[in-house]
Structure 1
């Protein structure tokens, strides 16, 4: 009966086979390491690009907010100029009627006749010189003219500031567009990965379901927190503030709007209009701010207590619940609305 045992290898052949096996195992190990490194690099690049796009978006939001404020100031000053002009014209007409009546009753000097001109300043000087108007009327007209001149000067300055701010908005728009294009490119790179790998990279960590029992200190804070919790799982979209897509400051703005409080659509500006509190004093509903770069506040979330918050992290991610320790950014401070 023939034997079915494998033939015994010579020592030389056995060594060769062993070396081949080791080499194959090493190759697989190297491939696995290279794959892990590539995935890690893709995640790092993606996170960097998403963070940069959020910084650019927040900067654009801030520039727009400032431009809108300046435009409102210019409009208000223009309204004041119109009011002052109307008051001056009305006063001048009243003085003219008084002078006309005086002319009918007792005759009017040629000096006053020349004084009835379109320019309030010229009218004032000539009429006052002719003693045909009272000192009180003259003083009132003079004050109106002075006020109008000051308002016009303020408006000119505001218009200059507005023009500069509009240029800043245009620059911020270009930077935002470039950052979003880079973010889109980073997304296209990871789109070639498996669904599981993509989820690992884009999720940003955290949970899209509520896991923290929140006890807010007042009804407004409770309303803001409840609103944020109701948006868990909604998509991040730059410059969005609801009802179903948000960026970071858009989420906190919408949450507090639900509680009847108006906040600007920018993380740094929200920090400037809230009362600073320490982490140990922070309560549910407070805002927590993060640095997105050296000295730059570019991210914000709504605090839940116990080191947890809700935020809208970046493009490709969702509104999530996450811990301060896992968010990956340095806390800049806490603010009470």
Structure 2
């Protein structure tokens, strides 16, 4: 039901802190109650919806995003689909964080009244181990689980107060995840010889498969180091995608494009004919491509592709584009983007790395 920021409480906040329900303080009389006393109703509800899981695995699941139909994410070990949102900005990207917070708050706000009205019943059914009730009321259970994890039990608060708490919790999580992504990307770029990989999810997935099948010989980077070159997160959002790019740009990483843009767009990038002022207008005029899909509405991640926003970030940061043949790139993609502070040897000479120190 929810495309969640996270199924866990925001950092520094214990979603179970301050609860006063007698059921939580009483000595547990069954394993579900025992789990409830330590991990809260949300963990118990997860266990009840997947009875084969152990209490230990359910408690561990609290610290992970819970994927499901309509979630918008792939499995954590796979590259997730990265849809686009229109009208993005740069410079620290506070507007994108604001937009993501508004989207997630709007998605959950309508359930606050149901959460307040049904919280005691939900708590009772979960404590009692009523599997049938949880399965029958799946959407209500999801809403209660999500909101309790983020803002705790209602505790007599009004809707306005709870809405403010919800917004604060979501903003803290989105901001923290974005900052964490910048730091992680900078670290990954350092480990991976300052090279990162861009492309549509299907193409970066093929690239990852190619890298995993590479033998580990000589001074070749480890598989983990090479896998760190692409954005692969269970908490994808527009701010997180921009944070990945920010981290790479801060490290002056070389970006390898593994998706073909077609000779016309690639030629314009290499010639420096695309800039912040004409980028989207030009891309739209060229028709559907890896950067533009007129069949997708704004709500469905179009028509601007996230890959286009990534390239625009590079253009705005002064990156130069070069042709660079590659055996693993998809559709004869052949572009690399080099930071303006880095020297660029002949990109066609693969005996000379593009990641020479400045």
Report the structure number with the largest CA radius of gyration: 1
Give the TM-score band, short-chain normalised. under 0.3
More strand by share: 1
Q: So what's the TM-score if we normalise by structure 2?
A: 0.24
Q: So what's the TM-score if we normalise by structure 1?
A: 0.25
More helix by share: 1
